[in-house]
Structures are given as structure tokens and as C-alpha cells.
Amino acid sequence: MTFKRMLQAVETHSGIPMRVITGGVPHIPGHSVYEQMKWLEAHDDGLRKLMLREPRGYPALCCNLVVPAKHPDAAAGYIIMEQVEYPLMSGGNTIAVATALLETGMIAMQEPVTEFQLEAPAGLIGIRAQCERGKVTQVTFRNVPAFAVHLERTIDVPHLGKVTVDVAWGGMFYVIADVRQFPHLRLVPEQGHEIARISALILKAAQDQLPVSHPDYPGYGITIAQLSGPTDNPAADWKNAVTMASGEIDFERPETWTGALDRCPCGTGTCAKMATLHAKGQLALDQDFRHEGVLGIVYTGRLLETTAIGTHPAVVPTISGRAWISGFSSHVLDPEDPFPEGFRIGDIWA
């Protein structure tokens, strides 16, 4: 049989499932991974939908496409794909891609430490992987600069009232709210539905009321909401729950007040949080910031130096965490399949 598509992937997770496509995609035009991402979005967005929607995916799944690097200093490139967007950068996905490349031998592993650079759509990402007996035990990556855009802003959120938020860039624009504004809510898996409901409403209100812009990437707005608060975990300093949208949010349609919780501590979200803490004078350079996700997994962040992005004071962060390979897969598209871009049904999709 001749299939319309046949794709090979490494299945990984860092809490959240992150698929790494390693074969089956032909040449993608572009002089940088950013240009390749924009070409894919414009000309072959069906690939993202095919791999992330049912029957091959579900709302919390992320996906990465490994491509040859365009930058001469990078060992490989990767395009990040999520349910409603192509992020310029993702921390958990970066850790997953680095782990998959090393543990499958696509990049030669050197023990006890392997160092290389990956080219994300946002630019070069420095990787330092601790390796032992053929396994990657920790990945530390140097991210693009992070910066705060709005601090302690009060927005009117329909169905919730007034909510105080921060907005920051950590590779994506995040709206961040302290969970203690909602006394009934705890950042635990059992309250995932309510976390997603509240986060979706805050996200939509922030998109409507708080303008943002990145001088290097025009057109990118706030796309993710983060609830954060204290933790009782002695191995962490703070806790968060990031909700990724799985569709358009409409204040008049309660069935859209949802999303998928990031099952990992969220690398770019941690960078955004650290940027707001630094801007408030609450996090110094060269200080570990241990950020816990809803499953109890912890990423460790650190701010290395200050810089500037346009007129925004910014910081250069690193994130350390781990991912695990959970399987190897081949995905095919039958030429007679009536759903060549997958499908969504409203019981679990927005």
C-alpha cells in the first residue's frame, strides 16, 4: 500500500507528552528554522493537525519536528507545534528534543557531559546534557532573553471579576496570576478542570486588555495562562499550573472555557515567571529558582545576566530538567482516511 504520509517519531515526556518527529518530512524551504516554521505554518499546517489531533493526538500533546540546522553553530534544528500555535520556543520540548537526539544517537553522546547548540525558531539554544551509562539524566538549556511587559495590572475578567496579573515573555507571552486570588483553588491534578476554566477566562481577558509586542517577532500575542503560588514541597520554591489553549475562547460559550494543563513545570513559563520576579526585585542573578508543576516534577531556573530586548530590560535564563523516552512510533495517513487532518470532538476539546 502507498500511504499519503509515513512519519517516524520518538515519544517522550517530562510529565506532558512531547512527540519528536525524526523522519518522514521532506525538505522545508527557509534560510533559518524560523523561516522554515513560517513556511510550514503557511503551506503544510496539516502536518501539525495530523499529529496533534485525534486519532494520533489529544489536547495535552506537543510535537516537535527535527530539521537540519541552518545556523552553522547548531547541531540540529527543531520546529515546535502545539494545538493552537507554533511557539518560537518551548522549554519542556527543548529538553525532550535534546534527550531524544542524544539517546537515539542522532547526536553523539559524551559522558559525563555533552554540550551543543540547537536552533529553535527563536534562535540558538545552548544545551548542556549530563549523561550517564547512555542516559540523559539532566538537560540544562540557555534560553533566549526573557522580560516583563506588565506588572501587577488589574484586569476585568468576565465571570470572575477583577484579577491582578503580570505578563512576561519567556519564549512565549504568558499572563501570570497568583492562585491565592481564588481561595477555593489549589494547584493539584484533582482540580485540573477548574484550573483550566479560570485560566482560560484570564487568558481571554488579558488578550483583550493588555497589548504586548516583541520587537523581533511582531504579531505574537499572549497565548498561555499561568497560575502560580507557594508550595509545600521542600524541593521547590514556587508552584505553577500552565494551561495551554486547545481552541478559541468565547466568554459567551462556557464550553470553551477550558484547555490542557501542562503536565511539566513549563520551561518558558518558568523563564517568564523569573523575569517578573527579577523585575520586582524578588529574584537575584545567579540564584536557583525551583519551579514545581502540577505533578510534582521540578525544573530549576537561574538568571545569568541582564540584557535588553528593544526598550525592555531583560534577563538571560537557564532551565534544568529531565525528559524520558516512552516509546517509538510510526504514523501513517491512509489515502482513504476521511480525516486527513485528524478531528476534534467537544467532550475533551474546546
* DSSP designation for 144: P
d(CA 85, CA 142) in angstroms, rounded, equals: 23
C-alpha cell at 62: 506537543
Distant-in-sequence contacts of 159-162, Cβ < 8 A, 24+ apart? 159/201, 159/251, 159/257, 160/198, 160/201, 160/202
SS3 category, 93? helix
CA distances from 10 to 17, 41, 58, 81 (A): 11, 22, 17, 15
Residue 41 near residue 51, CB atoms below 8 Å = no
Concerning whether 32 is annotated as a catalytic residue, the answer is no
Q: Name the catalytic one among 14, 32, 90, 330.
A: 90
Place of cell 483550566: 196
Residue 308's CB: how many other CB atoms inside 10 A?
11
| CA geometry: angle 80, 271, 300, nearest 5 deg | 100
- Classify residue 313 as exposed, middle or buried by CB count within 10 Å of its CB (0-12, 13-18, 19+): middle
Strands (E), the chain: 5-13, 17-23, 62-67, 76-81, 113-120, 123-132, 135-142, 147-157, 161-169, 173-178, 222-229, 238-244, 260-261, 289-292, 298-309, 312-321, 324-333
Half-sphere exposure for 201 (CA within 13 Å, toward CB)? 19
CA distances from 127 to 113, 116, 170, 240, 321 (A): 10, 5, 17, 24, 12
CA distance from start to end of the chain:
35
Q: What are phi and psi of 348, to 5 degrees?
A: -125, -5
d(CA 125, CA 133) in angstroms, rounded, equals: 25
- Residues taking part in catalysis: 90
